[in-house]
Amino acid sequence: MWFALSLVCLGLLLTWQFRSRWFKPWTGTPGGGLKAPPHHFRYLKRRDNTFALELAVQVPDFFRFELKRERWIDRFFKWLGLSVETQFGHESFDRLVYVASDDTHLLDRVADSPELRAAAQHLFVQEASGCKVRRLRCAHGWLVVRIDRGKFWGTKRDAWRLEEAMNAALPFLNQIGQALRHGQHLERPVRKRDRTLLPGVAVLSVSTALAINGAVFLFLPFLFDDAFLLDTARLLELTLWVGSFVFLGLLGAHFLLLARSARAHLYLLELVLVGTFGAYSSAASGIRQANVGWDTAPAVVREAAVVSKSISRYLLGGSIHFLHVTDWQDRSHTRQIRVSRSLYASVDIGRALVFEERPGRFGAAWAQFVAARSG
């Protein structure tokens, strides 16, 4: 049951991730007035902590790119040859701004527009009220700049500081938007002008879907299923093999589809951070579920006496009840069995519990609680 449910969940997560990355438009609060050009904005908060602000203006819906501060890691991957960024022959712009796009029309627009280059430079070098511009993204007809507060610890003045930085950045953002709006509508969609964009979104969607699926189904059966493993060594070995195969497949797809593109190392960093966990966690959860769910071998009845009882409480409320029984494989050890609250209350120390043990579909033995002996 858990294996089939995890496959369905993985498919839904993959669809949701791809839709969020490719189709989901940006939304914000309208702004503007007599002196300010039309724009939208939204504060990024974590509880009562305001840590960033996004400011956006509308542009034609045929560009999809990212501008960011160029850092040592960008230069390192360009030196390796994995990432290839177009250079425009303007040293101050090329050293400050990294253009994450392989859209030839956009690259021609940047090269031909001194106004766009100058506005982008001013946007990234300014630090109004101590805040910094981290990146500028364009997608779905929105040109969005993210401004961070510039400090690790938040204060009550962060919202005011971010608003000051927004007012300072808006003229330059609007200038870039005007440069993009200048010209005729393009007949070829961006996915055909930038052929690495769609494959990159697909690879990262698979990576993130695997990570979420693995995180959920690695622990969910332990909370809602009575089955528990007696032998983990075999499953650990299989997890290493399958997880490595999945992760190397993601890396292979990345290098095959995205190598020597402007986004290659940006995608690679996210893939390594998220995809590694996703590959191994999904492999571990899937193999465990298949080992239990596909096991058709006859069960061996085991009995074990309760030696102690314990309760684990959540920080946010709630609790899990455990019975500790003698390990029938090694009498000098005990096993912790999760049970319902009613069973926990009804079972006394010394009472025998009945289990069914099976060898496992992949050779990893497991057992399941059946009932408590009467008397």
Side chain identity at residue 75, one-letter code: R
pLDDT of residue 34: 64
Q: How far is CA 110 from the centre of its chain?
A: 31
- The predicted model scores a pTM of 0.84
Contact 135, 143 (CB under 8 A): no
CA geometry: angle 31, 32, 34, nearest 5 deg: 155
Token pair 């899937």: residue: 286
Contact 366, 292 (CB under 8 A): yes
Query: Angle, nearest 10°, between helix axes 114-125 and 104-112?
Result: 90
Structure tokens at 17: 């991730």
Structure tokens at 7: 């496959």
CA geometry: angle 134, 43, 137, nearest 5 deg: 40
Neighbours of 333 (CB within 10 A): 9
pLDDT of residue 315: 65
Contact 56, 28 (CB under 8 A): yes
For the chain (375 residues), the mean pLDDT of every run of 10, in chain order, is: 82 92 89 78 86 91 90 94 91 92 88 89 84 90 91 79 90 91 71 88 95 89 78 92 96 94 94 94 92 91 90 76 87 85 87 91 90 77
Torsion, Cα 15 16 22 27, to 10 degrees, reads: 160
CA geometry: angle 80, 84, 89, nearest 5 deg: 115
Could you tell me which of 180, 128, 183, 172 has the C-alpha nearest to residue 39?
A: 172
pLDDT of residue 336: 86
Contact 75, 199 (CB under 8 A): no
Contact 213, 278 (CB under 8 A): yes
Domains of the chain: 2-11+195-293 (no CATH), 32-190 (no CATH), 300-372 (2.40.50)
Phi and psi of 101, rounded to 5°? -165, 145
Contact 315, 304 (CB under 8 A): no
Structure tokens at 15: 């669809």
What is each CA distance from 294 to 297, 336, 366, in whole angstroms? 9, 24, 12
Positive or negative, the CA dihedral 344, 348, 354, 357 is positive
Could you tell me which of 197, 189, 176, 190 has the C-alpha nearest to residue 266?
A: 197
Could you tell me which of 326, 367, 370, 333 has the C-alpha nearest to residue 229?
A: 367
pLDDT of residue 33: 67
Could you tell me which of 149, 152, 145 has the C-alpha nearest to residue 129?
A: 149
Sheet bearing 366-372, strands edge to edge: 227-229, 366-372, 352-358, 300-313, 319-326, 334-339
pLDDT of residue 137: 94
